[in-house]
A = this chain, B = another copy of it.
């Protein structure tokens, strides 16, 4: 069974949208990535840290889904990372209301022995030096390494960020981040510049406007599924990454054609994640729903005509 090593935050989120607000609920990049990947025939492992305030029911939830949490450090006297945000009416913009790093401040990732030969490594958004510490602990080069990052690291840890970017196969960022990282407005040019920094594949996420995968002179596009209502976009990008890497860790076929499939699988799971607050929809999702929506993606995008 393919091994998927996931690093990222495991957190409490408090979310406000036009549809309502939550108390502290389960969140964090590694959480969404791991839950999404758990729908594939893979063994995901989370490398992260939480405080003593992290409920054991959440730990059980990971274990029940066959997610290895031997690399999830619990700092008994500490508090779990907390993020709070509010979305504006159109859900495309959000304000961060609070960020409390807590135990994340002193986090030193430790990759479990059994995952130092992981097939696929997903570096969720974190300080680039922590991402690098994970790569440094690997015993073999993974079939695929995927990096997520954000504008904050471009502004504060540029050199470390470039270092880790140079060591990965895929970078997955949003359109504004791609523009900031490259200094290019055109996403085609941005992807070309970013690829020169190291990653053979550049995956640019555009939220409700889909995602673009660039590789050499080839481009693939996956739309977001048009939904009647997006309820809460929190975790959509990480769910996308979890579907993408979960599919690839299962199929273990690293070709552009198969990465196309992985992008569709990522977009598919993300379309569920936004239907409820936080992880709620992922926790109440079955494989028949997933398969049915993959067929919707096919209907949404596939056409058939002869070019004369």
Q: Which of A3-11, A124-132, A159-167, A291-299 contacts B (4 or more CB under 8 A)?
A: A291-299
- In the complex, which of the residues B188, B223, B299, B305 contacts A210, with contact meaning CB atoms closer than 8 Å? B223
Judged by a CB distance under 8 angstroms, whether A286 is at the interface is: no
Judged by a CB distance under 8 angstroms, whether A304 is at the interface is: yes
**Chain A interface size range:** 35 or more
CA of A291 to CA of B305, assembled, Å: 11
Judged by a CB distance under 8 angstroms, whether A158 is at the interface is: no
Judged by a CB distance under 8 angstroms, whether A151 is at the interface is: no
- In the complex, which of the residues B90, B226, B260, B291 contacts A219, with contact meaning CB atoms closer than 8 Å? B226
Q: Of A186, A221, A304, which is in contact with the most chain B CB atoms at under 10 Å from its CB?
A: A221
Identify the 3 closest CB pairs spanning chains A and B, nearest first.
A209-B209, A261-B305, A221-B223
- Cβ of A96 to closest chain B Cβ, rounded Å: 23
- In the complex, which of the residues B186, B261, B287, B301 contacts A227, with contact meaning CB atoms closer than 8 Å? B186
Q: Is the CB of A221 within 8 A of B226?
A: yes
Contacts of A212 in B (CB 8 A): 226
Residue of B nearest to A209 (CB): B209
Residue of B nearest to A223 (CB): B221
